[in-house]
Structure 1
Amino acid sequence: MSQIFALVDCNNFYASCEKLFAPRLKNVPVLVLSNNDGCVVARSREAKALGIKMGVPVFKIKQVITKHKIQVFSSNYPLYADMSSRVIHTLEALVPRVEVYSIDEAFLDLSGLDKRFSLEDFGKQVKAKVDKDTGIQVCVGIAPTKTLAKLANHGAKQYPATGGVVDLTARIRQEKLMAITPVEEVWGVGRQLTKRLNAMGITTALDLAQTDPQQIRNQFSIVLERTVHELNGIACLELEEIPAKRKQIISSRSFGQVVTELDGMRQAIAQHATRAAENLRAEEQQAKVLTVFIQTNRFKTDQPSYSNSAIGQLPEPSNDSRVLARLAMQLLESIWRDGYRYNKGGVMLADFYDQNASQPSLFEDMTKKYRSKKLMAAVDQINESGLGTVTLASQGNCNCSGLIPMDTSMRDNRPSLV
């Protein structure tokens, strides 16, 4: 049985999530900014039409924002993680095998379905079902390899006449799309590779597909050689149902009761930092960057509104709950404002390193690091045994019963992982 993949990609995902909960923003340009509100990380369709580029510093486009009344939001990763899980849950109900590729993309295994259905019609059903269940618009690319499925999805986004679904199972359609697609749009071909390929006269995806794979391997790498095979319909990449190690870990909950005092928020943030650290250790990773975020209920229009986040960096990567909670407390102090009724807070870890392969610095105390590892292993063992619970003093009396999960489908009340 020949393999068939579909790539489902959410359209302008972060901006779409913000629009979903604010109907007034329909047809209004929306931007989502990085955690420190420095750069644009997501743009709605309307914002793209105004020529705003991804990654542009927001201070450079203040006049454009004012002129076109663009709505600007800080990143709300707990919301995006929750909506992502809802989209994936919908996809898993439609097909038996799903690979979560990123927060807004997933590969589906459609092998065998072409014998029973029109794949294009099935893609339209997937698109309609996700829209109905989650309110998120997606595009669907279908092809015999992952690389071609990515290309098909690019075509579905690029050309509105496709209706958001492109089926590239036929070779003639593959070649037509590749002929009009720049080589830099091929999955895995970055800026530097594009320059080298262009110098060889390879400017389109079709040019790359028609190049001798051995030549590509000799001049570039076995990875790019596989890309050439994939562009020719030879699958080299399998569906990976076991997720790769996370690039981010988010622990966030809506509070059962509003928090108005700093001590209460300290306890909640300490608990989130501890839970995130537990998941970090479970994946045998360490983090160097930590973000704390707090916010009031944006839908309570009769109350003062406030949301903020702060990012901190450790001198050395760590997965020690004490180290991460200590940094989280410092960041919380910097963004806390009295006089607000907070309904949500959380912690995000990023910039991960393998705990078994990280390079220590010249001045790092390895004895201290060894003791930290042994202590955290002992704490995890006790907490997992069911015989008792070890917590940080900063967690106070805060416990799971005082928090309401954003995503009630989360298993064993663990924090969302992205």
Structure 2
Amino acid sequence: MATFALVDCNNFYASCERLFRPNLKTRPVVVLSNNDGCVIARSQEAKAIGIGMGAPLFKIRDVVEEHGVAVCSSNYALYGDISERVMTLLGSNAPNHEVYSIDECFLDLDNLGVPDLSDWCRNLRQKTYKWTGIPVSIGVGPTKTLAKLANRLAKRSIKSGGVIDLVHHPEWIEPALRKTPIGDVWGVGRRWSQMLEERGITTAHDFAHAEDGWIRKKMGVVGLRTAHELRGYVCHALDDQPQPKQTTCCSRSFGETVRDKDQVHDALMSFAERAAEKVRRADQVAGAMQVFIRTDPFNPNAAQKSLSGSVSFDHPTNDARAIAGAATRILNRIWREGFAWKKAGVLLLDLAANGTAPLSLFDAVAPKDDGLMNAMDTINQRYGRGSIRLGLAGKDQNWRMRRENLSPSFTTKWADLACARMV
């Protein structure tokens, strides 16, 4: 029997915000989406007072003031760095692992050879909190879907101590299936859960005992695999070598609508540099790119427009100069005056591993690299993103996101390092 564990960081974004700010430890905490729009993460205390996921900030102002809720702008530099620390620690304890998301990691526990797996998981949980400051819950199951289900229950059960092991306690599987609403099963989305509930399938137990033919007809092979995983048959192996990306996108909604072409150009230059950096980090090159600009679809009083353009590179590249230059040419081609633009983005397409992209008849077999991009990446990695740039985008422009409650980048900027004071 296989043994999978899912380690999930509890209220991850809120936990990161609390990590260097002890005054938030007992306060409700919410983290907002880009431009400080909607709630995308909540501490347990925020959930308890009824703040819902996705709630617009302007609609919960009264609740925020009444309960002293700490409101934080999203700080992805901080969250990404803390995530990397957590995943590195987990990987050092279980070499066969799959980083599933920024706050979740599957572990293969088959060959650990420990006398008590539940104790090992509790020790890992304590070690993760001690070394990173992030609380986690661990669910163990004979399949990834059951491990995910066990993790969900471990988060909600005080008695479990943050760990539920369905492998060494198979008698817990049936009660766990009965306790899990069908909408909370991994792989069952909102559309499927609504369809299943209309047919009387309201729990994971109901779904696991449904007929294979009916599931295959209504939900295809994907749904059937989910049902089999709930029955204990492994259909999803550990994916420790994820497939390389075929596209990379960098886009943002503007802090306020923009009519000036120069400001839209500034935004696209910033996005082009960031997208190129992502591709270089993955050691890839792009064969084509697309640029888009859009008005605000939620403003019924504004004229609506969505424009895009694309270009193919003669030579696949990850050079920010070539990508930014192409973005400028596309913008000049698609630009229309008289509209209030709200969002823009750069999408790099046809990605391939660096050095494997096909060459044209006139390409050099080993083109010379001037080292500028490597130098920029090294400086930005050492001193913080944006320390050195091409100089094509202005600073403090209206298009930049609203981040009025942004916490310091405690772990990625020297200027934001936390200071210890003698009392």
Aligned to 1:346: none
Aligned to 1:160: 158
Q: What letter is aligned with 2:61?
A: K
Quote the Cα distance in structure 2 between the aligned partners of 1:77 and 1:83.
Answer: 10
Aligned to 1:229: 228
Task: Give TM-score scaled by structure 1 length.
Answer: 0.68
Q: What CA deviation, in whole Å up to 9, does each residue of 1:192-227 have, x standing for no partner?
A: 101111122111000011112232112221111011
CA spacing shift, 1:7–1:381, aligned 2, 3 Å? farther
CA spacing shift, 1:289–1:141, aligned 2, 3 Å? farther
Aligned to 2:278: 276
Look up the SS of the partner of 2:159 in the other structure. helix
RMSD: 3.9
Quote the Cα distance in structure 2 between the aligned partners of 1:321 and 1:50.
Answer: 47
Q: What letter is aligned with 1:355?
A: D
Q: What CA deviation, in whole Å up to 9, does each residue of 1:248-287 have, x standing for no partner?
A: 789xxxxxxxxxxxxxxx9999865542353478175867
Q: What letter is aligned with 1:275?
A: E
Quote the Cα distance in structure 1 between the aligned partners of 2:199 and 2:378.
Answer: 59
In the alignment, which of 126, 130, 133 is matched to residue 132 of structure 1?
A: 130
Aligned to 2:314: none
Look up the SS of the partner of 2:164 in the other structure. strand
Quote the Cα distance in structure 2 between the aligned partners of 1:267 and 1:196.
Answer: 45
Q: What letter is aligned with 1:63?
A: D
Contact kept, 8 Å, 2:277 with 2:377, in 1: the verdict is no
Contact kept, 8 Å, 1:7 with 1:107, in 2: the verdict is yes
Aligned to 2:54: 55
Quote the Cα distance in structure 2 between the aligned partners of 1:12 and 1:222.
Answer: 32
Q: What CA deviation, in whole Å up to 9, does each residue of 1:233-262 have, x standing for no partner?
A: 100000011134469789xxxxxxxxxxxx
Q: What CA deviation, in whole Å up to 9, does each residue of 1:343-369 have, x standing for no partner?
A: xxxxxx989675379xxxxxxxxxxxx
1:50 Cα shift? 1.1
**Any residues of structure 2 matched to 1:304-319 within 5 Å, and which?**
315-316=308-309
Q: Structure 2: 5+ residue runs without aligned partners?
A: 251-267, 294-305, 312-317, 329-343, 353-357, 386-411, 413-423
Aligned to 1:364: none
Q: What CA deviation, in whole Å up to 9, does each residue of 1:28-61 have, x standing for no partner?
A: 1111111111111111111111111111111111
Aligned to 1:83: 82
Quote the Cα distance in structure 2 between the aligned partners of 1:327 and 1:12.
Answer: 40
Q: Structure 1: 5+ residue runs without aligned partners?
A: 251-265, 291-312, 330-348, 358-372, 408-415
Aligned to 1:363: none
Quote the Cα distance in structure 2 between the aligned partners of 1:20 and 1:243.
Answer: 30
Quote the Cα distance in structure 1 between the aligned partners of 2:327 and 2:27.
Answer: 35
Aligned to 2:259: none
Task: Give TM-score scaled by structure 2 length.
Answer: 0.67
Contact kept, 8 Å, 1:15 with 1:43, in 2: the verdict is yes
**Any residues of structure 2 matched to 1:9-408 within 5 Å, and which?**
9-113=8-112, 116-169=114-167, 170-245=169-244, 272=274, 274-279=276-281, 282=284, 315-316=308-309, 321-322=320-321, 325=324, 354-355=349-350, 382=367, 387-389=369-371, 400-401=378-379, 404=382
1:321 Cα shift? 3.2
1:102 Cα shift? 0.4
* Identity, % of aligned positions: 42
Contact kept, 8 Å, 1:273 with 1:325, in 2: the verdict is no
Contact kept, 8 Å, 1:28 with 1:71, in 2: the verdict is yes
Quote the Cα distance in structure 2 between the aligned partners of 1:179 and 1:136.
Answer: 30
Aligned length: 327
Contact kept, 8 Å, 1:82 with 1:406, in 2: the verdict is no
Quote the Cα distance in structure 1 between the aligned partners of 2:198 and 2:127.
Answer: 44
Q: What letter is aligned with 1:315?
A: S
Quote the Cα distance in structure 1 between the aligned partners of 2:92 and 2:29.
Answer: 31
Quote the Cα distance in structure 1 between the aligned partners of 2:129 and 2:345.
Answer: 30
CA spacing shift, 1:279–1:133, aligned 2, 3 Å? same
Q: What CA deviation, in whole Å up to 9, does each residue of 1:57-77 have, x standing for no partner?
A: 111111111111111111111
Look up the SS of the partner of 2:115 in the other structure. coil
Q: What letter is aligned with 2:350?
A: Q
